[in-house]
Amino acid sequence: DADVTQTPRNRITKTGKRIMLECSQTKGHDRMYWYRQDPGLGLRLIYYSFDVKDINKGEISDGYSVSRQAQAKFSLSLESAIPNQTALYFCATSEARGGNTGELFFGEGSRLTVL
Amino acid sequence: QQQVKQSPQSLIVQKGGIPIINCAYENTAFDYFPWYQQFPGKGPALLIAIRPDVSEKKEGRFTISFNKSAKQFSLHIMDSQPGDSATYFCAARGVGGKLIFGQGTELSVKP
């Protein structure tokens, strides 16, 4: 089983619908992230959480919200999806920074299409 | 604004060639510079990384060259193979441990 699991892997929805992407991890890491990948723009940080009670906005948080339900679970919501939120979304985890490189471990991605 | 600029966006080389991917940054507070490799349908995975007090790091066929004064770093792939075909992202770690990624380079190694 994957260490970082994202569901769903693919989703097609319509403008205005509410969408939730879920992420769970078995690595025991405290830190979790949501990134968005678009061609030519790379990976951009949407939200991140350094522990269950800590949620922070990233570069492009407008139109998104998150919930850290437990150390192992971090979900991303689009309250009212719009076509320019069509993208590949990645969840990632890392250990706390102190003493290590902070390597990110990514899930396999959730492809979202908003019509 | 894009704090880490990566080029080229795409690159095609023949097997055995040496593709070079370049990245530039502005923020001198960045303290760690990793490269991630992503195969189609998969998430990115750490390939190699360097700290700014080192000018070069090699791991197998992959080498990072780092120029602190120019605020640039690059990835070289020696004796490239078709299996190296992937998207490569440079990144830089800033305040609070967040990684800022470059735009990505899609590499194709032809047999």
Nearest C-alpha neighbor of A23 from the set A59, A49, A41, A44 = A49
Which of B41, B49, B89 is facing A42, going by the closest CB pair? B89
DSSP conformational letter for B95: G
At A7, the amino acid letter reads T
Average confidence (pLDDT) over B5-22: 97
In this structure, are strands A105-106 and A87-94 parallel, antiparallel, or unpaired? antiparallel
Residues B76 and B68: their CA atoms lie apart, in Å, by 17
The per-residue pLDDT for range B79-104, each reduced to its tens digit, is 999 999 999 999 999 877 788 999 99
Are the C-beta atoms of B36 and B23 separated by less than 8 Å?
Answer: no
Q: Which residue of A has its CA nearest to B90?
A: A42
Query: If you search the block for the tokens 């195969």, which residue do you land on?
Result: B39
Torsions phi, psi for B82 (to 5 deg): -55, -30
User: What confidence tens digit (pLDDT) does each residue in B19-60 have?
Assistant: 999 999 998 889 899 999 999 999 999 999 999 999 999 999
Integer Cα distance of A25 and A29 in angstroms: 8
Write out pLDDT tens, residues B52-83.
Answer: 999 999 999 999 999 999 999 999 999 999 99
Contacts of residue B11, Cβ cutoff 8 Å, sequence gap at least 6: B19, B21, B105, B106, B107, B108
A65 closest CA partner among A84, A94, A85: A85
Instruction: Indicate the pLDDT class of residue A97, thresholds 50, 70 and 90.
Output: low
* Interchain contact, B98 vs A90, CB within 8 Å: no
**Which residues pair with residue B36 across a beta bridge?**
B46, B89
Q: Among partner residues B41, B89, B97, which is closest to A43 by beta-carbon distance?
A: B89
Residues in chain B with CB shorter than 8 Å from the CB of A97 are 97
Please state, in angstroms and rounded to a whole number, the distance separating the CA atoms of residues A30 and A49. Answer: 8
Q: For chain B, where are the E strands, in sequence order?
A: 4-7, 10-14, 20-25, 33-38, 45-50, 56-59, 62-67, 72-77, 86-93, 99-101, 105-110
The whole-chain average pLDDT of chain A stands at 93
